[in-house]
Chain A
Amino acid sequence: MNRTLEVIAGSDLVERPRRSRWPARLDYLQSASGLVLALFMWAHMGFVSSILFGKNALWVVARTFEGYYFFGHRYPVIVSIAAAVVLALVIGHAALAVRKFPINYRQFRTFRGHMAMMRHGDTSLWFAQVVTGFALFFLASVHLYIIMSNPGKIGPYESSFRVWDQHLWPLYLLLLLAVEFHGGIGLYRLSVKWNWFGGSNPDEARHGLKVLKWAITVFFLAIGLATLATFIKIGITAHPIYGERYVPTWQQDALPGHGGQAAPVAGQPATTSQAGGAQ
């Protein structure tokens, strides 16, 4: 930068190690992982909420992700792998984001004081993001671990049993709230951070983004709550047949005895579901 410095200080000093590029990469990765996770959450919500269109819809979605429609057999390990990837992303994202958290009580108190003093929307939203992010690290990890270890058990009944009979609905309720707030705020922040939709009037754009952010959050919360309610309802009504797998209606028709062959899991003998309440 300064040629005279080179003369005075010699090249050792001038050619000092350049500043690490890692802070830039980490900053970028934090945003990128957040974006991927947020987009994943939108898609995930889309898939899960298929239950709102009926049990069959969810069944089809679940089988699709097990590769049933591609290979003719279910490969739940695909779900495990996907969950593992997402879990890795969550851990990575959390590790990157935690760098920005208050690192001690003094900082925590300072920020809380600052927030109270400023009464400034985006500042308060950040704190909400810290809190939800912190919560998500545990909630999402538990959820992902369960999915990873029970990959084949996604379905209208299977999921409902998990939600209701296995008492996981409080986890899912908190997870839903945390995810929707965290992701919505995160996406909004990403777009202002990188000035994605700034256009010719960034202030107006930001205002628009904020309205959109809340609209999206409300939309997904509504869908999410409806979905969770549906699972709870199924869980309650299907309580008597706890443990049974769901068989889509067309297969019920095709097979006598109301059970029939569900989609076979690759490498396992096809099981026949017993009719619920046959005893």
Chain B
Amino acid sequence: MNEVKHRKLKISVLRYNPQDPESVPHMQTYELEEADGMTLFIALNEIREKLDPSLQFDYVCRAGICGSCAMLVNGRPALTCRQLTKDLGDEFTLAPLPVFELIGDLSVNTGKWMRGMSERLETWVHAKEQEIDLRRIEEPMDPELAEKLYEVDRCIECGCCVAGCGTARMREDFVGAVGLNKIARFKIDPRDTRSDDDFYELVGDDDGVFGCMSLLGCHDVCPKQLPLQTQIAYVRRKMVAMAFS
């Protein structure tokens, strides 16, 4: 096999450690030789191992399913574990997701934000009964509906939609597409007994669905290609219908 000449990558990373009073945000550039099939996961780990052990970033599954590793790649939110370096130029920038609390460098506290969102929107099935007779055959569900539910249940709470949302950037209490998608998901779930009235309580204001200005940054950056545009439209229509009924 003949040796392939690899590119030299120049990766500029936004460095800042809010815990350190001396630290100021600045860009730091690392030079790295590209490898075959290199992802940003591999590249950043290599930087940490060989160039800078203090560099902070988060990976868990490194397979595009856990949502830990969203960052701004050249300014756009993306899951970096599955971002191949060959699809980027020789020079590119990495920065932490905005909106979320910064832990350090590329690491942000999406977990805290998402837990707050879940508590606020009560993102669980509100069932009729607390105790189910587990010995009995389960309630049937239309197979198409189950598929439809999974289609929107695929959200991994990576935070890309929130970081890509102009409204969320301007107004910190906005629920974001992640939250609205969940409302849509539980609204079509027949196991959830909540009425439109109840959902209105959760998202019926300008921090909720009416704050959305349909910039669709969320839809266009969602790494799971969730149909966020139509989900939000669905919630909006239902909530407006509620208000006029």
Contacts and interface: CB of A to CB of B under 8 A. Distances in A.
Interface of A: 1-2, 18-28, 99-100, 102, 107, 110-111, 114-120, 122-123, 126, 189, 192-195, 198, 202, 206
Nearest to B126: A1
A183 to B, nearest CB: 16
B233 A193 contact: yes
Given A28-B240, A110-B169, A110-B170, A122 B230 contact: no
B201 interface: yes
B88 interface: no
Closest A-B pairs by Cβ, 4 of them: A24-B243, A195-B233, A117-B75, A21-B243
Nearest to B237: A194
A100 B215 CA distance: 12
Nearest to B242: A24
Contact of A122 (B98, B126, B208, B216): B216
B214 A202 contact: no
Most chain A CB atoms below 10 A, which of B72, B197, B236: B236
Given A19-B200, A24-B240, A117-B75, A198 B230 contact: yes
A203 to B, nearest CB: 8
Task: Tell me whether chain B's interface is mostly helix, strand or loop, or mixed.
Answer: helix
B233 A19 contact: no
28 contacts: A1-B198, A18-B200, A19-B201, A21-B243, A23-B204, A23-B210, A24-B210, A24-B243, A24-B244, A25-B243, A25-B244, A102-B170, A107-B170, A116-B75, A117-B75, A118-B76, A120-B76, A120-B164, A122-B215, A123-B166, A189-B214, A192-B216, A193-B236, A194-B233, A194-B237, A202-B230, A206-B216, A206-B229
Nearest to A114: B169
A206 B220 CA distance: 12
A202 B227 contact: yes
A18 B72 CA distance: 39
Contacts of A118: 75-76, 164, 217
Nearest to B164: A118
B206 A23 contact: yes
Contacts, number: 110
Contacts of A193: 212, 214, 233, 236
B215 A126 contact: yes
Nearest to A126: B215
Contacts of A24: 200, 204, 210, 239-240, 242-244
Interface residues of B, number: 40
B194 interface: yes
B134 interface: no
A28 B243 contact: yes
A119 B230 CA distance: 22
Nearest to A127: B166
A117 B244 contact: no
Contacts of B200: 18-19, 21, 24
Contacts of B206: 23, 99
Given A1-B126, A202-B229, A206-B216, 17 more contacts: A20-B205, A21-B242, A23-B204, A24-B243, A27-B236, A28-B240, A110-B169, A111-B170, A114-B98, A114-B169, A117-B75, A122-B215, A189-B213, A193-B236, A194-B236, A195-B234, A202-B230
A130 to B, nearest CB: 10
A126 B230 contact: no
A111 B214 contact: no
Contacts of A20: 204-205
Nearest to A194: B233
A226 to B, nearest CB: 32
Most chain B CB atoms below 10 A, which of A19, A119, A202: A19
A195 B234 CA distance: 8
Nearest to B245: A21
Given A21-B243, A28-B243, A28-B244, A192 B75 contact: no
Contacts of A126: 166, 213, 215
Interface string B72-84: 1001100000000
Contacts of B220: 120, 122
Interface in B19-43: none
Interface in B117-155: 126
